[in-house]
């Protein structure tokens, strides 16, 4: 065996047992108590072993630009305009360097699978795509990065964008993004995105319904189009902050439509909190849609980072665990099953959103694993970067991983089997 992990509490369906895990050629070869297996050994001493975290929505190309921008009112329009202005000076080298800084923070926080939205338009052309493609290749030893080609500045209103998106899709972008609310013709953009996605046989991940009221949402139309194009299970929508402002009856009706259509929802707690309610001066709305309530209706959901250190989200350290902590606080999550879903929205549910059928701790799956020190929160106390889940058989608090393990996929070099970070 390339590596044997001893005395792991294995995270499987929210149950944690003390087991040994053998890894061979980058994959899990066996899981059993007191396994008879040769090879380098690591004693995890009862620490929790989980599959690497999954980030379904992050913008690496425009990270770490807050010092180049001027923030006056914190609105979405300002964020788009400030980013567009900063983007004019982006070179491939600059994008790569900033993206690598944030990516390395993701790695030390346990993220091993990622979908990143990359801006494509006639101004930036394919510079972001080229830089992030190179970054994905250079860090493939540590993380699987999937590119979503994303028209942040519009599509119908921005001639030339369509052909550039097509160029990305033909050169390996796996997902097509959208942002109907920045377009002069939101439904025209949605229609075009579905046709293009079908032409290239790629999934769709839209920024959708980012606003403060439940009026004029496009989410029903996206569900209709998903059904019409037989695209159930291949469409995700991010933000949907307008849904957080919907009364229960409307919320429940939309949740059922999302579940029926097979449209997944990504909640981006940090950005949604920062951008919504800007017109209010008291009792400011939170704007974070209750994903755990959507899950009750059968909707698949993920929690993700979105932005780090830019006008959309001036703070952040790319910790998904911190994002789950923030979400649980903001959305009043406290029941055991709902807390467990918070962790699922960083792991199994996110992997399902990205249609990763080989994800999880099971024999034959890739050995992409993170090790967490876990403790009863009553003994440990509360930390701002910790998230707690309460599975059936106990309480577990997660902070930054103790180690992340991604043994080499090929070859038998025992010294290179594990990458231990942070």
* Residue closer to Zn ion, measured from CB, 304 or 397: 304
Of 56 and 388, the one with the shorter C-beta distance to Zn ion is 56
Binding to Zn ion (CB under 5 A) within 206-225 occurs at: none
CB of 126 to Zn ion, least distance (A): 19
Least distance (Å) between residue 206 CB and Zn ion: 10
Number of other CB atoms surrounding residue 172 within 10 Å = 12
Length of the chain: 422
Dihedral of CA 373/379/384/389: which sign? positive
Cα distance from N-terminal residue to C-terminal residue, the chain: 25
CB of 172 to Zn ion, least distance (A): 20
Instruction: Kindly determine how many residues on this chain lie close enough to bind Zn ion according to the rule CB under 5 A.
Output: 1
Strands 48-51 and 53-58: unpaired
Give the largest Cα separation in the chain, rounded.
64
Of 254, 259, 353, 262, the C-alpha closest to 303 is: 353
Task: Assess 182 for contact with Zn ion (CB under 5 A).
Answer: no
- As measured in angstroms, the least distance from the Cβ of 63 to Zn ion is 11
Q: Which residue lies nearer to Zn ion by CB, 58 or 403? A: 58
Q: Determine the Cα–Cα distance for residues 348 and 344; give it in Å rounded to an integer.
A: 5
Residue 124 and residue 148: Cα distance in Å, rounded? 15
Q: In whole angstroms, what is the distance from residue 75 CA to residue 279 CA?
A: 9
Name which of 306 and 319 has its Cβ closer to Zn ion.
306
Return the closest-CA partner of residue 330 out of 381, 372, 277, 280: 277
Buried b (16+ CB within 10 A) or exposed e, 235-247: bbbbbbbbbbbbe
Looking up tokens 């409307």, which residue turns up?
A: 250
CA 397 distance to own-chain centroid: 20
Tokens representing 348 are 């199994």
H or E stretch covering 194: helix 186-200
59 or 349: CB nearest Zn ion: 59
Q: Which residue is nearest to Zn ion (CB)?
A: 306
Is the distance from CB of 117 to CB of 174 less than 8 angstroms?
Answer: no
- The helix (H) or strand (E) run that includes residue 117 is strand 111-119
Closest contact distance (angstroms) between CB of 152 and Zn ion is 8
Nearer to Zn ion, 116 or 133 (CB): 116
What minimum distance in Å lies between the beta carbon of 173 and Zn ion? 15
Min. distance of Cβ 207 from Zn ion in angstroms?
Answer: 5
Q: What SS3 state is found at 221?
A: helix
User: Mask 294-313, x = binds Zn ion (CB under 5 A)?
Assistant: ------------x-------
266/399 with CB nearer Zn ion: 266
Least spacing, CB of residue 117 vs Zn ion, in Å: 5
Q: Which is nearer to Zn ion, 218 or 306 (CB)?
A: 306
| Residue 183 CB, nearest approach to Zn ion (Å) | 15
Task: Considering only residues 20 through 79, tell me which ones interact with Zn ion, judged by CB under 5 A.
Answer: none
Strands 48-51, 3-12: pairing kind: parallel
Question: Are the C-beta atoms of 16 and 9 separated by less than 8 Å?
Answer: yes
Within 244-350, strands assigned E span: 263-267, 301-303
- Of 79 and 361, nearer to Zn ion (C-beta) is 79
Among positions 305-364, residues that touch Zn ion (CB under 5 A) are 306
The CA distances from residue 288 to 246, 266, 302, 303, in Å, are 12, 10, 13, 11
Of 306 and 348, CB closest to Zn ion: 306
Least distance in angstroms from the C-beta of 288 to Zn ion: 14
In the complex, the residues that contact Zn ion under the rule CB under 5 A are 306
């Amino acid at each position: 065996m390339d590596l044997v992990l001893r005395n792991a509490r294995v995270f499987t369906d929210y149950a944690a047992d003390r087991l040994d895990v053998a890894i061979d050629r980058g994959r899990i070869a066996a899981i059993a108590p007191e396994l008879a297996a040769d090879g380098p050994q690591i004693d995890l001493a009862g620490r929790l072993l989980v599959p690497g975290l999954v980030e379904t929505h992050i913008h690496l190309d425009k990270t770490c630009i807050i010092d180049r921008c001027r923030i006056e009112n914190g609105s979405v329009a300002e964020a788009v305009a400030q980013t567009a202005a900063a983007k004019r000076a982006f070179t491939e080298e600059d994008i790569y360097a900033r993206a690598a800084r944030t990516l390395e923070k993701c790695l030390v926080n346990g993220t091993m699978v990622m979908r990143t939205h990359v801006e494509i338009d006639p101004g930036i052309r394919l510079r972001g795509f080229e830089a992030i493609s190179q970054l994905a290749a250079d860090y493939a030893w540590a993380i699987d990065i999937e590119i979503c080609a994303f028209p942040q500045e519009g599509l119908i209103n921005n001639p030339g964008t369509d052909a550039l998106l097509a160029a990305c899709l033909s050169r390996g972008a796996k997902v097509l993004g959208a942002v109907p609310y920045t377009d002069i013709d939101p439904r025209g953009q949605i229609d075009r995105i579905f046709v293009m996605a079908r032409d290239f046989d790629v999934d769709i991940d839209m920024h959708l319904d980012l606003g403060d009221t439940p009026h004029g949402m496009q989410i029903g139309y996206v569900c209709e189009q998903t059904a019409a194009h037989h695209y159930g299970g291949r469409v995700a929508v991010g933000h949907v902050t307008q849904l957080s402002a919907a009364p229960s009856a409307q919320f429940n009706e939309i949740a059922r439509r999302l579940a029926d259509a097979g449209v997944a929802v990504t909640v981006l707690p940090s950005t949604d909190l920062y951008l919504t309610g800007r017109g209010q001066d008291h009792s400011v709305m939170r704007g974070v849609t209750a994903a755990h309530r959507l899950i009750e209706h059968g909707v698949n959901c993920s929690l993700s980072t979105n932005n780090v250190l830019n006008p959309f989200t001036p703070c952040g350290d790319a910790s998904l665990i911190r994002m789950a902590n923030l979400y649980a606080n903001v959305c009043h999550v406290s029941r055991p099953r709902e807390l467990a879903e918070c962790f699922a929205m960083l792991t199994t549910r996110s992997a399902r959103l990205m249609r990763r059928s080989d994800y999880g701790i099971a024999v034959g799956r890739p050995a992409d694993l993170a090790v967490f020190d876990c403790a009863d929160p009553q003994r440990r106390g509360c930390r701002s970067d910790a998230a707690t889940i309460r599975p059936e058989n106990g309480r577990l608090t997660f902070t930054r991983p103790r180690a992340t393990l991604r043994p080499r996929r090929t070859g038998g070099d025992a010294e290179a089997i594990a990458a231990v970070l942070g």
